[in-house]
Amino acid sequence: MTPGWRELMLIFLIVLLVFGGKKLPEIARGLGQGIKEFKKAKDDIRDAIEEETMYANTEADIPASGDMDDTPAPANSSTPSNA
């Protein structure tokens, strides 16, 4: 259940009475900066996770050096053997 406009207006009036008109802009500015920093941190974490998953996916596509078969393929001789 979300608060309606009446509840929001009542909350605003109580905050105005408690903190006063001069302090209210400072509180709003601090709240805005906090939200901005939170969004930036959230985006940084999301970007780091995406980068790591992309790196992990490309790393899974490339075989490790020990996984490659270094033995040469047998030579196909075109001359018949003298048996």
pLDDT tens, 5-20? Answer: 899 899 989 988 898 8
19 neighbors 27 (Cβ within 8 angstroms): yes
Q: CB-hemisphere CA count at 13 Å for 41? A: 6
Report the pLDDT value the prediction gives residue 12, as an integer from 0 to 100: 87
Report the pLDDT value the prediction gives residue 76, as an integer from 0 to 100: 62
16 neighbors 24 (Cβ within 8 angstroms): yes
Report the pLDDT value the prediction gives residue 71, as an integer from 0 to 100: 58
| pLDDT tens digits along 24-80 | 889 889 999 999 999 999 999 999 999 998 888 887 666 655 555 555 556 665 555
| pLDDT tens digits along 32-44 | 999 999 999 999 9
List all residues 6 or more positions away from 27 whose beta carbon is below 8 Å from its beta carbon.
Answer: 15, 19
- C-alpha span between 15 and 5 (Å, rounded): 15
